[in-house]
Structure 1
């Protein structure tokens, strides 16, 4: 597990799984040399054979007053997910061992509603899907919900409907303030209502990316789209705006799908290009 401190706020990564993927399995490009052109992420984010590791993890943001879980991974016993189906992981136990049992979580932020970000919203108990975090308010942007709830190809019955039935979901704006020092920031493109999560404390700042990027090279080449981006033009514009907002500001960027060390800083070089410089913790 990896942790960072932003002022007095702690952020903990809780890993569910890692998958080695090829470029074409995640990004819309046939440029097989793309990752090899940029030495700066290696060896943590790119391998010599052109593959890279995709991490699936949740992030606990502990302000001292609030315990916020950002994204809940794939979950166990999911038969219909595109990959990592029928997992039997110790993710929930790992979360509890870290000091965050399910009943202690105040808020769950769903950056978006893809299956690998909402799977542990519920768990299977005696044949029924029930809320995993029964005391938490689950935040989803209204735009995101309206898009997927009416999509015939998307089934949120197991992961979201039990929460709605229990009255645990709040549909919010993409600039919603979660609590002092934690707010959402619009990051549309990968999905219509996706958000990043900004954490500020003691004059320091971190931002959790959601899926606006899957690999750090997308900060350098923002037009390289993700396969699952619903609007590639908007997604590229979001990546450019993100770089403009956070490059050379000292903001810690925590990648929702980045393997260890997971976090880094965006820095511009003399040519104006941006690179992602890893930062192992604070």
Structure 2
């Protein structure tokens, strides 16, 4: 079990996997190839594969135990998907790995989707008797309302759905069944889960991209989802990934999140960082630097 305790909250890291994902230059078109080489000593092997010049990513879910409830932050890549779609032909072992750390589906009280990209909502649902139903039958699923509107083919952004198989699949497989079961809770702006945990809007990566702040007994952490994909973005937070849907807003959000973390000694926990998994940062003029890695033990 990989875990850290923050005040009264226990956080358990559940890895689906970690591997080279795609060419670094394709994922981060704003970052020059020599930047990766210059920082090779600390990016290798957990964040960059220098031999193949590949961006290395972790896929993981976070279990939080707070005020007697069990909370999941994102649900990974999920079931087998058709070839050609994001994470096609992958089936993650997340449910089994949750069970290995003592979390059965019926015991989950809240599921947080930081945003509605396919690798964050895959195990929202499971197939039962030929139908897709919520994997966690007693949980409330907290979904950012702007993202729900963006993926709903009958919503205000339905023009974006033409030919967008991934967007359609996210809604029909991972969101619509939650609404049909009465387990989806849409929120906007901010949403307090309990005295320790608060969701906040952090748009840019997606319209409803969000973060989860943890503040308990003086300890601070923030689950930032895909606001950061790689630590190579920390020295230069203006560098987006190719997955950021609103580049200007993503840059502004990333800088704001890093400033807050640096000024408040807030531990950053991004969705796709491998290795230690969590880190502290400090300001260096208009840029930032990693000051400490906080390993899950």
Give the TM-score range, shorter chain.
over 0.9
Q: C-alpha displacement at 1:82, in angstroms? A: 3.1
Contact 1:174 1:193 survives alignment (8 Å): no
Trace 1:161-200 onto structure 2 (pairs within 5 A): 161-200=176-215
1:148 to partner: Cα distance: 2.0
Partner residue of 1:92? 95
Matched, 1:117 2:132: no
Find the counterpart in structure 1 of residue 227 from structure 2: 212
Q: For residues 207-236 of structure 1, give each alpha carbon's deviation from its aligned partner in whole angstroms, at most 9, with x where no partner exists.
A: 011111100121221221111111100000
Contact 2:123 2:174 in 1 (8 A): yes
Q: Which moved more, 1:197-206 or 1:30-39?
A: 30-39
Offset, 1:247? 0.9
Contact 1:189 1:236 in 2 (8 A): yes
**Is the CA contact (8 Å cut-off) linking 1:69 and 1:108 kept in structure 2?**
yes
SS in 2 for 1:33: helix
Cα distance, 1:64 vs. partner?
Answer: 4.1
Match of 1:58 in 2: 61
Separation of aligned partners in 2, 1:186 and 1:81: 31
Q: How does 1:1-282 map to 2 (within 5 A)?
A: 1-20=1-20, 21-29=22-30, 31-38=32-39, 39-49=41-51, 50-79=53-82, 82-149=85-152, 150=158, 151-152=160-161, 153=164, 154-155=167-168, 156-269=171-284, 273-276=287-290, 277-281=292-296
Superposed CA offset, 1:16-36 (max 9, x none) = 122303212322236112222
* Distance verdict in 2 for CA 1:82–1:18, change over 3 Å: farther
Distance 1:43 1:89 in 2: 22
User: Is contact 1:181-1:199 (8 Å) kept?
Assistant: yes
The answer to which structure has the higher helix fraction is 2
Question: Contact conserved, 2:267 with 2:279, CA < 8 A, in 1?
Answer: yes
Give the unaligned 5+ runs of structure 2: 153-157
Report SS of the residue matched to 1:209: strand
Q: 1:3–1:281: 8 Å Cα contact kept in structure 2? A: yes
Q: CA RMSD in A?
A: 1.9
What is the distance in 1 between the residues matched to 2:29 and 2:240? 5
* C-alpha contact 2:76 2:94 (8 A) present in aligned 1: no
- How far 1:69 sits from its partner (Å)? 0.4
CA contact (8 A) 1:219 1:240 kept: no
Measured after TM superposition, the shift of residue 45 of structure 1 is 2.4
Q: Give the paired residue count.
A: 281
Q: TM-score, with normalisation over the residues of structure 2?
A: 0.88
Runs of 4+ that moved beyond 4 A: 39-43
Label 1:89 to 1:44 Cα distance change in 2 as closer, same or farther (>3 A): closer
Tell me the CA shift for residue 43 of structure 1.
4.4
